[in-house]
Chains A and B, each alone.
Chain A
């Protein structure tokens, strides 16, 4: 029953030809009349498989031929684990073939059947739209990984049972007391309690977290990219993709774009973290000032942006700052546009040759300020983005720091007062060091968070000008690595390069995070 195992679709040679027999004619008539894919519930898969099965029964010699040419022991017969290992190692052997190789289809298409004055045309639609898939590497890889990971579990169980049998036999030899089943289970429970409790979570993590990461890691070493590999086969290519980020001037400019995007990502992460941190600190200092009554009132109002779901506020910003949006209307209404026009920041037609560098630098748009879709002045857009991010990020730090400030021991300030310290000195030598001490780990976390801050970039600018443009390797002006990877993965299907970048982000952020974590008490204690 090889043709049944040969899933997902059948595959047949062009030159095998189709010889009509009486039986196959009847069958075809039946199918023509009854088997309309939409009404009978036939799927292309079982339709093909059924036809092939019938056809092989009629022509046993073709079956042998089929088995010899298209049969792959690992793919079609081998068990779960062996097939899994084979899949991961080879990623499949048989390429995808299209329907016109299928002689059954050719034969069916030309035959009409007349009964009772009505002509029936065969339903070949099912076949028409069915590419005859060979081995699909991505499915093979994923099922291969599943079986490999399961295999690891089994290996552990196997080693443990061997060890347990050995230990039991030793004990029996020494004491001559037979362990009953109940005792054995109680013993295992008592000694393996920790592992039993972890097991469910571990199992879920293995297949939901570890497996996808391994998959993502592995495809960085393949040529998995584009529609063909999506539905067909891809192969291992070693470190070729990693080399591409250093090979300038070849094909799609991944190398140039990568370094540009990386630079902007680092600038973005540093700038957004520091602005948010010091913005929050400034606001906290203002609120905590003795001059301000109703501290709670101000704090509650100013913390609102933290409580509003970021996704919603990010989308709101993309509306507010759109070219014909409310901000531009207000600025126009109160006459800011006139000032900008005078300064040459607005109302001037952009020209690459006639403008000085300074004029280009301050160019905000021709008719309206193009906050996020400025095609010429990418740094303006980026600075706006950093400023908008203060709205999103600073309130959290403000709240954090006000609560730290109120918890600082008051006697410290009293002692400073007696020594005649000025408010600035008190801030510099008491408040600031204490704030830094308790927020430093969070600062590092915020940095790595901003490094991967998909939301701000994607929901506000959707990558900015030039997203999806092949001449710039699909990266827009404001794309940071993570949003660029999103475009690469979801819309452009350049999976392998996206994975390469994932690995690089991991190495970069991971080393920062590891350093940060090694400083915490939790790590030192355990």
Chain B
């Protein structure tokens, strides 16, 4: 098993190196590099094909020697060895999790890919029948949707004002918001517990939304302000000259332009509750009705962690199934929007 694996690994390293060399030859001869790389995925044939191609442009004499020099090939081998190794490490936990979720064993699987005779959907059935997974999913989804709607509603107006108007106390307000964000989120934890206890909201997952909305406003004000500040102020001023009210400017000019950042905020608000652990663990893990098991009030993060945190009572494979169901949609969303997410954060950081 291990030998086979190492074999595949080095075969891939060689294959990619071969492909890269082929690509280089293509390029030297004046063909598209990417075609060379694709042809190069066919071992041996690719390189032969590349060398048999007629030159499309004048090729210097020493050019090929350069490609085939020991140093160049060595560097390529090292490069692809590193890349394959990195991909192996990246995929290891993911493959393990997927493999574990499709087994019928209950203990800790000890192979990366479980043998085929253990394959089953038992864990997924257990997840829905044996645990309160659907309750957790429902609770989290409700919080996420409410958080998205309320978060955007509360933030839009304030963000607009902070981005477009100058008024007394603006700078103090912005600084205050920044100061608040630096406090560790923990600091409010006790107060939130007491607050929920005072108003008798402990164990009621929907009300958690209030805390998420309130907590997200400061950060989002800065985000929206940073984005809206890039829209030229002349737009507002010319509309003002044409007799538009502030309200009209907001709805007719600013809001349509702010759709990208507002959707960014909305997605952020939607995602936040899925993976938050501290607040639900503290506020929802409290029996409010003797008839209803306390685990039905949990959110996904609390539920999933409960499956692995107690060594005596863990079901790692069921956890793997639940984790996958939660992680797959989020991962896909992140992969699709990665350009916006990554560069959006950069923009926020450098431009405010």
Interface residues of A (CB under 8 A from B): 138-139, 141-143, 193-195, 197-198, 200-202, 204-205, 207-213, 215-217, 219, 283, 286-287, 289, 291-294, 298, 300-313, 315-320, 322, 324-326, 329-330, 333-334, 391, 395-396, 399-400, 403-404, 438-439, 441-442, 445, 448, 452, 454-455, 458-459, 462, 482, 485-486, 489-490, 495, 498-499, 502-503, 505-506, 509-510, 513-514, 517, 520-523, 525-526
Q: Nearest Cβ distance between residue B134 and chain A, in whole angstroms?
A: 18
Check B293 for interface membership: any CB of A closer than 8 A.
no
The complex places the Cα of A306 from the Cα of B112 at a distance, in Å, of 21
Is the pair A312, B327 in contact by a Cβ cutoff of 8 Å? yes
Q: Which residues on the A side are within 8 Å of B210 (C-beta)?
A: 204, 208
Q: Which residues of A are found within 8 Å of B349, using beta-carbon distances?
A: 441-442, 445, 520
Residue from B82, B89, B157, B274 having most chain A Cβ neighbours under 10 A: B157
| Nearest residue, chain A, Cβ from B300 | A311
Is A209 a contact of B180 with CB atoms below 8 Å? yes
Q: Which residues of A are found within 8 Å of B24, using beta-carbon distances?
A: 291
Cβ of A306 and Cβ of B180 under 8 Å apart? no
Decide yes or no whether B215 CB sits under 8 A from chain A. yes
Say yes or no for B148: interface residue by CB 8 A criterion.
Answer: no
Contact indicator B171/A526 (Cβ below 8 Å): yes
In the complex the two chains form, is A210's CB within 8 Å of B191's CB?
A: no
B327 x A498 contact (CB < 8 A):
no
Of A303, A326, A459, A482, the contact of B109 (CB 8 Å cutoff)? A326
Q: Give the distance in Å from the alpha carbon of A459 to the alpha carbon of B155 in the complex.
A: 32
Nearest CB in chain A: distance from B262 CB, A: 14
- Choose, from B50-58, B124-132, B303-311, the stretch at the interface: B303-311
Contact partners of B345 in chain A: CB under 8 A: 400, 442
Q: Are A498 and B308 also in contact (CB < 8 A) when A212-B192, A510-B179 are?
A: no
Please tell me if the beta carbons of A521 and B352 are within 8 angstroms of each other in the complex: yes
Whether A510 contacts B33 in the complex (CB less than 8 A), given A283-B86, A286-B83, A301-B87, comes out as no
Q: Establish whether residues A205 and B217, one from each chain, have CB atoms under 8 Å apart when the complex forms.
A: yes
Q: What residues of A have a CB within 8 angstroms of the CB of B235 in the complex?
A: none
> Interface centre among B179, B183, B335, by most A CB within 10 Å?
B183
Contacts of B108 in A (CB 8 A): 319, 322, 324-326
Contact, CB under 8 Å: A142 / B214: no
**For residue A525, which residues in chain B have a CB less than 8 angstroms away from its CB?**
229, 352
* Min CB–CB distance B87 → chain A (angstroms): 5
Tell me if B183 and A403 are in contact (CB < 8 A).
Answer: no
B168-187, CB under 8 A of A: which get 1 and which 0?
00110110011110111111
Tell whether, in the assembled complex, residue B182 and residue A313 are in contact, meaning their CB atoms are under 8 Å apart: no
Residues of A within 8 A of B215 (CB): 208-209
Indicate if B350 sits at the interface (CB-CB under 8 A).
yes
New A-B contacts (19) at CB < 8 Å, excluding given A307-B334, A307-B338: A201-B217, A213-B180, A213-B183, A215-B191, A216-B191, A286-B83, A292-B79, A293-B19, A293-B40, A309-B274, A315-B305, A391-B90, A404-B346, A438-B350, A458-B277, A502-B183, A513-B182, A521-B350, A526-B170
B281 at the A/B interface (Cβ < 8 Å)? yes
How far is it, in angstroms, between the C-alpha of A193 and the C-alpha of B97 when the chains are bound?
Answer: 53
B side interface size, CB within 8 A:
107
Q: Which residues of chain B (180-215) have a CB below 8 Å from chain A?
A: 180, 182-192, 194-195, 197-198, 210-211, 213-215
B144 to chain A, nearest CB (A): 13
Contacts of B239 in A (CB 8 A): none
Contact A506 B183 (CB under 8 A): yes
A312: chain B residues at CB < 8 Å are 97, 275, 304, 323, 326-327
A209 to B316 Cα, complex, angstroms: 37
Cβ–Cβ contact A219 & B211, under 8 A = no
Residue of B nearest to A215 (CB): B191
A213: chain B residues at CB < 8 Å are: 180, 183, 187-188, 191
Task: Among B76, B83, B91, B214, point to the contact of A209 (Cβ < 8 A).
Answer: B214
A-B contact pairs, 22 of them (CB 8 A): A195-B167, A198-B157, A209-B188, A211-B191, A219-B190, A287-B83, A289-B79, A302-B90, A304-B331, A307-B330, A309-B331, A312-B323, A317-B93, A326-B111, A391-B93, A400-B345, A439-B346, A489-B186, A490-B189, A498-B190, A502-B186, A503-B187
Contacts of A455 in B (CB 8 A): 277
Q: Using known A-B contacts A316-B323, A329-B111, A391-B89, determine if residue A298 contacts B83 with beta carbons closer than 8 Å.
A: yes
- Is there contact, CB below 8 Å, between B327 and A399? no
Given A301-B91, A311-B277, A399-B342, residue A201 in contact with residue B158 (CB < 8 A): yes
What 10 A-B pairs are tightest by C-beta distance, nearest first? Answer: A522-B352, A208-B214, A212-B188, A293-B37, A212-B191, A215-B191, A307-B334, A216-B187, A201-B158, A329-B110
Q: B330 contacts which chain A residues (CB < 8 A)?
A: 307-309
Bound Cα distance from A506 to B198, whole angstroms: 27
Residues of B within 8 A of A439 (CB): 346
**Measured between C-beta atoms, what is the minimum distance from A409 to chain B in Å?**
17
| 0 or 1 for each of B226-253: is its CB under 8 Å from A? (1 = yes) | 1001000000000000000010000000
Expressed in whole angstroms, the Cα–Cα distance for A305 and B330 within the complex equals 12
The answer to whether A198 touches B191, judged by C-beta atoms less than 8 angstroms apart, is no
Which residues does chain A contribute within 8 Å of B162, judged by CB atoms? 198
